[in-house]
Amino acid sequence: MGKVYLVGAGPGDPGLLTVKGKALLAHADVVIYDALVGSPILDLIPPTAERIYAGKQRGAHTLPQEQITALLIEKAQTRAVVVRLKGGDPFMFGRGGEEMLALVQAGIPVEVVPGITAGMAASAYAGIPLTHRDLSSSVAFVTGHEAAGKYRPQVNWRALAEAVETLVIYMGMHNLGYIAAELLAGGKDPATPVALIRWGTTPEQEIHLLRLESLAGQPSPAAPPAIVVVGAVVNLASLLPTLYPLAPSEPQ
C-alpha cells in the first residue's frame, strides 16, 4: 500500500511552494490536483506520473468530493506516492480535514504538507500587513461561502464586525454585498477600507481599494478568485511596496 500526501501548492507564485512539496511532486506516482494550481507548479510533475484534474469552481465540480476521496483510496492501494495537490493550504478552507479523516478511517497512510495560504500571501504581496501594532492586534480568516444546506450560517458577521480588527475573507465575492451589509449592521465604520485582491501573488494580480459602505448590498466590483481584506491595515497598501505594482483603484 502507498501513502497519500495532502500537499499545499501555495497561493500561486511557484516560488512559494515548499521544499517538501516540491520534492514530493518530483517523486509522485499520481497527482490529483485542484483548479487553482498553476501550470508552473504542474510542470514540476514528472511525465511518468498520472495526472488527474479534480478542480472545483462555483457551480462546476469536475468530480464530487465523495468521488475524489474514493479515488485517493483506490490509488493509494496500488501506487506508492499519491499527491493530493491543493491550492494554498490543505487545512485552510481546502477540505483537507475531510479528506484526511476519510483516509484515516479507510486505513490509508496519509500526511499533510502545509502550504502558504492565499490570505496571508496575497495580502503581503499587495503591501498589506494583516497585523500592525498601531492598527490591528487581531485577525480572522473567514469563508464567505459556507456549505449548502446548513441549518443556519456559522459565520456571525455582525459579531465579527466589532470582535476582530482585520478580516480576511475567502470565497466571498458572490456574497460580498451581503457580507458588507452585515458588517455595517454590526457596527463596522462605513469608511473602513477594503481590499479586493484578485489572482494574488501572480503577475495577473489586481488590487481594488474601496470603502465598506460602497459594497453593501451591491454586486461585487471584481470577479473571483479573490481574497477580501477588511480593516485599517488596508490603508497601508498605498504606502508599502507590492511585488506586482499595479495601480489600485482609489477608495470610494
**Whole-number Å distance between alpha carbons of 149 and 22:** 37
Instruction: Show contacts of 208-215: CB within 8 Å, 24+ apart.
Output: 208/248, 208/249, 209/234, 209/237, 209/238, 209/248, 209/249, 209/250, 209/251, 210/249, 210/251, 210/252, 211/251, 211/252, 212/180, 212/183, 212/184, 212/188, 213/180, 213/184, 214/252, 215/176, 215/177, 215/180
| Grid coordinates of 248 | 489600485
Selecting among 34, 86, 89, 120, the annotated active-site residue is: 34
Please tell me which residue in 13, 171, 173, 188 is annotated as part of the active site. 171
34 catalytically annotated: yes
56 given a catalytic annotation? yes
* Helices and strands per DSSP (H, E), number in the chain: 7, 12
Residues comprising the chain, all counted: 252
Query: Cell 479528506 identifies what position?
Result: 99
Instruction: Say which of 3, 20, 22, 56 is annotated catalytic.
Output: 56
Among all residues, which ones are annotated catalytic? Answer: 34, 56, 171
